[in-house]
Structure 1
Amino acid sequence: MSTLALDKVRKIKTLNQIAESGLDVLKKGNFAIDNEGEDPDAIIVRSFNMHSLELNQELKAIARAGAGVNNIPVENCTERGIVVFNTPGANANAVKELVLTTLIASSRNLFDGVAWAKTLEPEGSQIPKLVEAGKKQFVGKEVRGKTLGVIGLGAIGALVANDALNLDMEVIGFDPFISVDTAWNLSRNVHRAMTIEQLFANSDFITVHVPLTLDTKEMFNAAAFQLMKPDVHILNFSRDGLVNEEDMAAALASGKVGKYITDFPNENVLKMKNVIPIPHLGASTQESEENCAIMAARQVKEFLETGNIKNSVNFPHVSLPYTGKRRVAAFHKNVPNMVGQITSAISNYELNIADMINRSRGDFAYTMIDIDNEVDNEILPNLETKIKQIEGMVRVRFI
């Protein structure tokens, strides 16, 4: 696999329909959208399942136009030195709006009321009278003064929490991994739950915004429901696997859970009592799709042109100002003396180092080094070979 075709056109493949505004970002550089070729430099994807897809040797990056990456073989990509990006926050406003819409609508029994009203069409002139007589069966509750528990205070959860306060709700938040950036954006009026059990016990509504992991899988289960208030409403716009569906069905049937609003209908869910099934519309707005596409394209463009990495789920965040000097970008095992061996290989060719950065993430690390000298293209293949021969090296790229 050659990494030294430095001026070649970089090929981008899309596995779903990607908003044109995102593809326009790539038209401003040395890029070409090539959906027929088998050796793209990068892939931009939305929901396409890549787990059975063979990844070509030239592939350097995959960008998910969205937050979740369950459809991407992240572990395999890491082992091969392929950076995987997502676009956190790009669709946050769209999801937030739908969460708050369904929170209010479910509390007011709006969905049931609308469905009932549509059945009155054959009654002709009697419809107004029937509406007045029947509306009492759909009397709901206002959300003002009620308590909303928000699990996960990332880009979406923080927006939901802040806007719920503007609806005069009490808001409890739980997120043991909250970032500094999110903390700055979160209202000080959001009460912090020290444990998730505290949130369960005190919430009239619960909305969840966390990824599906071994720790969060089926976090909504019989034991959790036992801690909750009667008639609690649960909103799930994150992942279906967060809920034990058998336990949810029982909680709905008993009235322990009053409503379950989910963006992930399936055969089991549609059989449950008091479910409001949303056909996966959380991020389905024109604005969201464009925001995600633009963000994904910009991250791919920046990485391929400069090696800088932002919003990767498997590589560390790395940013080094690009000045046009020859740059070495190396992805390797996070073990001692890797940087020393890379710099030694460079100095063996009497090349000076102008700048460098090294960041680690788990078992792997990423090093970028700018070379001060003009580098003879005849030297580069030999230098590449020397660096690739370092034990623990996964991938080397020259920019």
Structure 2
Amino acid sequence: MQKIIKQDKLFIASCLALLVTSLSFGIRAGIMYDLMEQFRLNASQMGLIAGTAFWGFPLAIVVGGMIVDIVGMKRLFIFAFLLHLVGIVFTIFSTGFYSLYISTLFIGVANGTVEAAGNPLVATIYPDNKTTKLNHFHIWFPGGIVIGTLISFGMAKVSLGWEWQMAMMIIPTIIYGYMFYRLDVPVTERVSAGVPTKEMYRAVLRPLFIFMFICMIGTAVTELFINQWVGVLLENVTNSSILVLALISAIQAFGRGVAGPIVTRISPSGLLLISSVFSTIGLYLLATLSGNSIFIAAIVFGLGVTYFWPTMLGFVSENIPESGALGLNLLGGVGTLSVSVYMFFMGEYYDKLIALALPTGADIDVYRSAADGTSEAQAFLQAKIAAGPEVIEATIVIPLFLTFAFLFLYIYMKVYGDKTR
């Protein structure tokens, strides 16, 4: 029986799946402080839990990239649906560090599986408009973070706990699972074009791909580490730290929504260069401003990270199409794995900065669990106020490096263009 490919419905189902992925980031960012308080977790432990989503993600996306041509994109989406459902339920009934760790791993693998199937699906059903449609697809990552953070903020205001906030993710999960169960899904672009598997593996060893692979480490850390940790790092710098994340994500969603005319006027390499400059300035402002003025920093930073992820994918898909789904998923995999590693080290660094700000020989756990109003609690609060911006400031070097890297890429593409292939 011949498949009936419903392009628009497939795109909507893909966006819903990505929405669940981003809700997991937005809601988790909103409840991280509550989880640390309820389960008495330190920043290092919370960094391990949050980072699990980021190494479960690359594990799934790389493996998915290798098998998607064989098992098909539909099966990967169904697998992601099942893992999302199990991970959400396990999180709701978590009792401490280990159960949170395992449930986050399930969600991370589900998120990676969505990317492993979603990016090649969008590139396949929109072969003549890849960069623009990948930006439209990735609207739903920051868009979901906006929705997730607002859900978290609003439900917390009416005293609904983090368990109810996580439960909100079940609705879109069931919808996208049902849609993919009913829809026909095409084979990947590489398979339909008849590009040999051997040529796909050769393509990911080209110098241009390796360069983009390395740069993806920096773009992912710049965007996702700050987005996931901003609620913790700025908790005591502004009264609305979670709204800072919502503003950053709203700017990203809007920017990706109007990507079409921007991509036609500015080359992908030029767009990446501009993004890295704005990201550097934005991080500096986030680290130095406080109070309501920090929303200005959020606007600049949001403009900076808006086009990073989808434009990286679009650039590779357009300039190295032979790399196929594997190329797209290797980029996504290394990006999220680098965030996981960076989160672990920054969690330890954050704890170290807090400890250094406390009296000599102080036990950080004693100060963390001190009763409100005590001198220990006040000292711990002041230590956190100082530590958060310092972690952000340490991250500035990454987009600064990217600025020089993308300047080189811009000049290189101007000189060589299609000859890079």
So what's the TM-score if we normalise by structure 2?
A: 0.22
Relative contact order, higher structure (CA 8 A, sep 6+): 2
So what's the TM-score if we normalise by structure 1?
A: 0.23
Structure holding more helix per residue: 2
Kindly name which structure, 1 or 2, has the bigger radius of gyration based on alpha carbons. 1
